[in-house]
Amino acid sequence: MPKIPIIMPQLGESIAEATVISILTQEGEGVEADQDVLEVETNKATMNVAAPCRGRVSKWLVKLNESYTVGSILGHLDASTEDAARLGLDATTPSMGDAQVGHASNESDLDATLSNEGEARQRSVEPTVRGLPVPAHVAGASYMSPRMKARMAELGLHAADLAGIAGSGAAGRVTIEDFEKFIANLERSRMSPASTMRVAVADAMRRSWTRPLATVALPVCLDPMLVHRKNSDLKPGPALYALRALALALGENSAPAGRLVGSRIVHPSSIDVGFAVEAEDGVLVPVLRKADKRPLSELLVRYNELVSLARQRRLPPDATGGSIATVTNFGTFGLTWATPIPLPEQTLVLGMGAGRKVPDWNEARGQFLPVTEANLTLSFDHRVLDGGAAGRLLARVASLLCEPKKL
């Protein structure tokens, strides 16, 4: 009876590995084709691995809470020769993932080969970053020797993790002694493991901060939007109004959302805009595709669906990545002003603060009248945009929010 491998699939763009968090089918149990057999967690979502065909689980090669790379053999299925042949899943061909498998002389050799390969692949996966709490003070690790960098690579650390080390070497160089003393002091502190989500957010922000970022802001009157929302059968939230306004503004001129690569500006091919959703121990950014082509009423259903999926950490692959800008409503936390950071692959992030009643001078009536006002902020890659272009884009977004019927 052929032994068919269960292989870690490509679970999304740029996903290199996943952590097994639940085994849904035990050894010896029968499964159907495409039945979920494992639950795994990536840095973006919780997803399932399905059986490649009908059969019986003969052996698992995985352990809970350990990471496995894409393409790793996670276990084996005992399948009928007919099922294996019909689906092209021949256990004696190199397509299983390693040429050595094709030379296995019998099922025993094949099982041993796959087991050894699975264990070898599992051992080769190291944590991307180890979550060490680092105090933020003094100048930090400005100069590091090759030996120091090698030691950091061994522990999976980045320069940003060592901001609390003051180098004692020449010209402020951080010596290996400085580093080992720092690590020893940390070991005496209370520590907890950083979640996969927190590590992913930290890595994204570290990469984003390699660019010169700037922020412009503009107060906007929310009263027209609030009246429109009150009179609508469906009730879009402020963030969706802002997302649609930004999408329309970028649809008129997409250059501000371009990315600088070398000496060229790469213009977006589609106005795909993400929005920030707070999830457990981090933030996810679902994406609304072609947001400039779809009216607010059409976007709302998909928006609400993606918010729910994001909070469950079950976003589908087509709703993640590839966005050209993000909208975040930090006003939900009562904040009136903030400077969000664009994602590494984006140039822009639009933020909206909490609405407040403020006096506004009415020229026609010659008096101050109360209006609901909120701050809009636009953080951007200063290599691509200057303050004038960013200000014009933000002003256009604000004007569209004042005419919600156009959204």
CATH of the domain at 183: 4.10.320.10
C-alpha closest to that of 349 among 377, 385, 313: 377
- Residue 294 confidence (pLDDT) above 80: yes
| More confident: 160 or 243 | 243
Residue 88: per-residue pLDDT = 64
Confidence of residue 172 (pLDDT cuts 50, 70, 90): low
* All residues at 6 or more sequence positions from 2 whose CB lies less than 8 Å from its CB, including other chains: 78, 79, 80, 81, 84, 89, 90, 91, 92
203 in a structural domain: no
Render pLDDT for 232-259 as a digit per residue (tens, 0 to 9).
888 899 999 999 999 999 999 988 998 8
- Residue 136 confidence (pLDDT) above 80: no
Domain around 397 = 210-406
| More confident: 310 or 135 | 310
Least confident segment among 104-113, 212-221, 239-248: 104-113
Looking at the structure, tell me whether residues 292 and 368 fall in a common domain: yes
| More confident: 89 or 83 | 83
200 in a structural domain: no
Render pLDDT for 320-335 as a digit per residue (tens, 0 to 9).
888 999 999 999 999 9
Looking at the structure, tell me whether residues 274 and 359 fall in a common domain: yes
Confidence of residue 340 (pLDDT cuts 50, 70, 90): very high
Give me the mean pLDDT over the 294-308 stretch: 92
Give me the mean pLDDT over the 378-403 stretch: 94
Give me the mean pLDDT over the 330-356 stretch: 92
Percent of the chain with pLDDT over 70: 82
CATH of the domain at 336: 3.30.559.10
| More confident: 315 or 167 | 315
Looking at the structure, tell me whether residues 374 and 237 fall in a common domain: yes
| More confident: 280 or 374 | 374
Residue 398: per-residue pLDDT = 95
Contact 179, 162 (CB under 8 A): yes
201 in a structural domain: no
Render pLDDT for 38-86 as a digit per residue (tens, 0 to 9).
999 887 678 899 988 889 999 999 999 888 888 889 999 998 888 777 7
Give me the mean pLDDT over the 77-104 stretch: 57
DSSP 3-state helix, strand, coil percentages of the chain (rounded to 5)? Answer: 35, 25, 40
- Residue 37 confidence (pLDDT) above 60: yes
Confidence of residue 272 (pLDDT cuts 50, 70, 90): very high
Looking at the structure, tell me whether residues 120 and 151 fall in a common domain: no
Q: How many domains does the chain have?
A: 3
* All residues at 6 or more sequence positions from 129 whose CB lies less than 8 Å from its CB, including other chains: 156, 157, 158, 161, 194, 199, 202, 203
Looking at the structure, tell me whether residues 271 and 185 fall in a common domain: no
Looking at the structure, tell me whether residues 85 and 152 fall in a common domain: no
